[in-house]
Amino acid sequence: MIFDFNPKSQEAANEIGAKFFQGDVSKAESVEAAVAKTVEEFGSLDIAVASAGVGGEGDVVTSTVENWERTNGIDYSGGFYTNKYVTEQLLKQGYGGVVANLASMFGLVAVSNNIAYSASKGGVMDMTRAAGTMHAKEGIRVNAVAPGVIRTPLIDEPTLEQYASLHPAGRVGEAQEVAALITFLASGKAKFITGATIPIDGGYTAV
């Protein structure tokens, strides 16, 4: 099931034979409805990736209150709603499950010209620690990934160029590389990993 605000995601769903639910992750009732629809379609919900996000803009002075509320409403509260309703469903099913949250290296180190994003991604990591330990005995694992700058529609070309050399690896990352880490975290090979945030940033936060 693909959950997204943008109706164009229907095309992506068609391409890979997935179902599509159009909703707004910043609205709790929308996320709750998406979880219910997924269970209705597939009989259960076993793995969730909380990825919906926006970039945010502005520093401690230039960020507007609207920008703060929108960015945190989607990137932080949206993450909470997803963790909440998915975990509720996993507990009902009774055999464990997996949640992967999209944090960012900018939750680990400062991005001083984007305070709302920085705060929301730091919050995602703390939420992951709390959610990933609460039901660990019941086999519910919650982890986060903290990517560096990754080539996706979220990042414009000048920003990709600017950041490439700032990663010790000398390049930005690819979406498939992040997907591979999430796939590992969702697999049985990662069954002793919970409450963790794993950087995937070409070494950016290591120096």
Ligand X SMILES: NC(=O)c1ccc[n+]([C@@H]2O[C@H](COP(=O)([O-])OP(=O)(O)OC[C@H]3O[C@@H](n4cnc5c(N)ncnc54)[C@H](O)[C@@H]3O)[C@@H](O)[C@H]2O)c1
Footprint of ligand X (CB under 6 A): 4-6, 9, 24-26, 51-54, 74-75, 102, 104, 147, 149-150, 152-155
C-alpha distances (whole Å) from 150 to each of 3, 7, 125, 187 are: 21, 23, 19, 23
For ligand X, the closer CB: 53 or 132: 53
Of 13 and 193, which CB lies nearer to ligand X in the complex structure? 13
CB of 137 to ligand X, least distance (A): 29
117 is catalytic: yes
- The residue from 76, 81, 85, 117 that is catalytic is 117
Task: Give the angle 8-4-162 at the CA atoms, nearest 5°.
Answer: 85
* Among candidate residues 53, 90, 91, the one with its CA nearest the CA of residue 72: 53
Which residue's CB comes closest to ligand X? 53
Task: Name which of 81 and 140 has its Cβ closer to ligand X.
Answer: 81
Query: What is the smallest separation between the CB atom of 3 and ligand X, expressed in angstroms?
Result: 6
Residue closer to ligand X (CB basis): 141 or 201:
201
Q: Work out how close the CB of 192 gets to ligand X at its nearest, in angstroms, rounded to a whole number.
A: 25
User: Of 96 and 168, which has the nearer Cβ to ligand X?
Assistant: 168
| CB 74, min distance to ligand X, A | 4
Cβ at position 205, least distance to ligand X in Å: 12
Catalytic site residues?
A: 117
